[in-house]
Structure 1
Amino acid sequence: MNSHTIYTVLDLVGTFAFAISGAVAARQRRLDLFGIASVAFMVACGGGIVRDVCIGAIPPAGLSNWRYLATSLSASGIAILAYPQVRRLRQPVLFFDAIGLGLFAVSGAQKSLVYGHNAELAILLGIVSAVGGGVMRDVVLSRVPAILEREIYASAALLGAVVQVAFSYANWTAWWTPWFATFACVLVRLASLYFGWRLPVFQRRRATVVRDNQ
């Protein structure tokens, strides 16, 4: 299996995972069939479309390649028909979202490198590929996007993209390198959910008002 095939598989598996998370989230909000399919496609392909526009891959694969739409619709159908089984997973949206996060961070970074862009842009667009669809989902469903909260979300995508870019610059192009980078991202994301890891926040100091009674 050559490298192009590996990253295409990563992209499609990530599309499926993200579509599942979007479809389940839409189903939980009691959207109709069209709404579920629309949100699933938005989550699955939104970040990749933004990435492709930025790197000049026009038209974006999410719009021009039928496999992405078919994968998204298949995931939507599974989420609808097997919804009781999917719900048995603990927080299924977060679980599938974590898988899609890792897969898209790696494939997004690698595709940017293939199109001749530097490491910095590859890492940034890897993050955009990973978090873009989730942001769109949360906005449409009237939820606070995960990247704006204290959760380790974009940071996990950053790790996956950095590892993948580092492997590419070191000329480590073995079949296992993208899977290792993906695993690192997914592991950090799931571990943060399990152990409750959060990014630090800066709290405003309470002003003490001193009244002079003299």
Structure 2
Amino acid sequence: MQDLSDLVTPSVQHGLDLAGIFVFAISGALLAVRKNFDVFGIAVLASVTALGGGIFRDVMIGAVPPAAFTELGYFVTPLFAAALVFFLHPEVERINGAVNVFDAAGLGLFCVTGTVKAYEYGLGLTASAALGLATAVGGGVLRDVLANEVPSLLRWDRDLYAVPAMVGAGIVVLCIRFDALSPLTSGLAVITAFALRLLAIGRHWRAPRAWNRRSAVSERPEGQM
């Protein structure tokens, strides 16, 4: 197995994890404000969004207890983000599309860090990419469920969500396969997934539904969050 420790150092990995946790927590806290949750609900939704995917990944690869429960920074970061949104949400909400932008940033960061960590724990390339995807989308799915929303991942009337994460994770495993993984290529994978998600939002790219579909379900799309 290729040794990634010289390419993606623990400090770089830790920094990317914290960045992803922070931006995902912001998106979760903003949704909680929009849903009129109280301060506890804001903190819970921020933490679940930020840490849910990473906890699932760590349990699956046997990295227990998960880093979310052993690293103080991982635990405190979403609470800091929740406090920031609690006091400054009017200013944060003025940023056009703030929830989608923060969510896209977290998606890009976590699909990369999740794939790298899974590979470091001995998984093959395909399984590592799958867990990178789960790391990226898992927190958002839990966020939507707790907020009484059908997860964006499953909705035909929402812009592409999982596909950008799949592309980012795919870039990482290709770089590993061809001995090209580095902080630069990892950053390019993050940016690619982030940009694809934003393009999907801006241009309303959606995945196709079943061929020759027949359904009584209403075709009227619901409004974006």
Counterpart position of 2:223: none
Alignment of 1:4-19 (within 5 A): 4-19=10-25
| Cα offset, 1:205, TM superposition | 7.7
Aligned length: 206
Counterpart position of 2:214: 204
What whole-Å deviation, never above 9, does each CA across 1:131-183 have from its counterpart, x for those lacking one?
00000010010111011013211111100101011112211133211110000
Structure 1 stretches of 5 or more lacking a match?
207-214
Aligned partners of 2:100 and 2:142: how far apart in 1? 15
Whichever residue aligns with residue 199 of structure 1, its letter is A
Q: Which has the larger radius of gyration?
A: 1
Counterpart position of 2:164: 156
TM-aligned CA distance change 1:94 to 1:112, over 3 Å: same
Q: 1:110 aligns with which of 112, 116, 131?
A: 116
Aligned partners of 1:146 and 1:29: how far apart in 2? 16
Aligned partners of 1:178 and 1:75: how far apart in 2? 25
Matched, 1:35 2:41: yes
Q: Secondary structure of the equivalent of 1:82?
A: helix
Aligned partners of 1:176 and 1:57: how far apart in 2? 26
Structure 2 stretches of 5 or more lacking a match?
1-6, 217-225
Aligned partners of 1:6 and 1:168: how far apart in 2? 17
Q: Secondary structure of the equivalent of 1:176?
A: helix
RMSD value, Cα: 1.4
Q: 2:188 aligns with which of 180, 183, 188?
A: 180
Aligned partners of 1:205 and 1:32: how far apart in 2? 39
Structure 2 length-normalised TM: 0.88
